């Protein structure tokens, strides 16, 4: 294929458009992630809120081995609010204990109806026996939708005063480095076009 001047210009134009779009997407996305992290850190360390709900989702770190090997210590699990009517045997649910603070994430092993009320028998995948207490519907916060291995441990270290400051600094540095890199690229392109205009416009590259 012969790469004419027009083809080269078109390819460069497409490349610049893609780069511009990625740049437009990257920084708002990064800012949104940063705001979520800051919000979670504020709620956790200032408000001392353990069960942080963002748009119907909650994030927890697996603290015990009761759900191994599917969910291991240090994994980040995401819990989504779910209608009680949609729950079934085999679902992994997150529920609040009687102290209204601690939560457990175990699998539904049986659904029991007592005195007209639907209760849920749960069991850890790695446990030999079912949990002692049945779970009431008002205890359930939602079902587990996905996990990210070991990310819980990483985020726990990040959601500290020092960690949040480091994240902010990294994003700021990344932004300025990207801006300077783009400025240098434009300067090099302008210089190349200025000193090689005739060759750039007249010659074809094979």
Overall residue count recorded for the chain in this entry: 206
pTM of the model: 0.60
User: Rounded distance, CA 81 to CA 55, Å?
Assistant: 9
Cβ neighbours of 120 (radius 10 Å): 23
Query: Whole-angstrom Cα distance, residue 93 to residue 84?
Result: 11
Higher model confidence: residue 107 or residue 161?
A: 107
Q: Which H or E run contains 146?
A: strand 140-148
Q: Does the structural domain 57-154 have CATH classification 2.40.50.140?
A: no
Mean pLDDT estimate for the chain: 77
The per-residue pLDDT for 199 is 43
Question: 124, 122, 135, 142: which is closest to 63 by C-alpha?
Answer: 124
C-alpha 66/C-alpha 176 separation (Å) is 45
């Amino acid at each position: 294929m012969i790469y004419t001047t027009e083809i080269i210009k078109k390819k460069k134009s497409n490349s610049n458009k893609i780069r511009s779009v990625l740049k437009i997407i990257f920084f708002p996305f990064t800012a949104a992630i940063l705001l979520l992290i800051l919000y979670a850190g504020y709620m956790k360390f200032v408000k001392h809120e353990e069960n942080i709900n963002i748009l119907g989702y909650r994030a927890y770190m697996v603290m015990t081995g009761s759900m191994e090997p599917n969910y291991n210590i240090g994994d980040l699990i995401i819990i989504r609010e779910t209608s009680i009517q949609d729950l079934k045997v085999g679902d992994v649910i997150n529920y609040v204990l009687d102290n209204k603070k601690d939560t457990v994430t175990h699998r539904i092993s049986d659904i029991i109806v007592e005195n007209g009320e639907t209760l849920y028998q749960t069991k850890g995948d790695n446990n030999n026996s079912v949990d002692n207490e049945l779970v009431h519907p008002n205890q359930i916060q939602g079902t587990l939708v996905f996990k990210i291995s070991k990310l819980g441990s990483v985020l726990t270290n990040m959601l500290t005063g020092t960690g949040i400051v480091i994240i902010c600094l990294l994003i700021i540095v990344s932004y300025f480095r990207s801006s300077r890199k783009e400025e240098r690229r434009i300067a090099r392109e302008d210089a190349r076009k200025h000193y090689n205009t005739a060759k750039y416009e007249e010659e074809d590259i094979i």
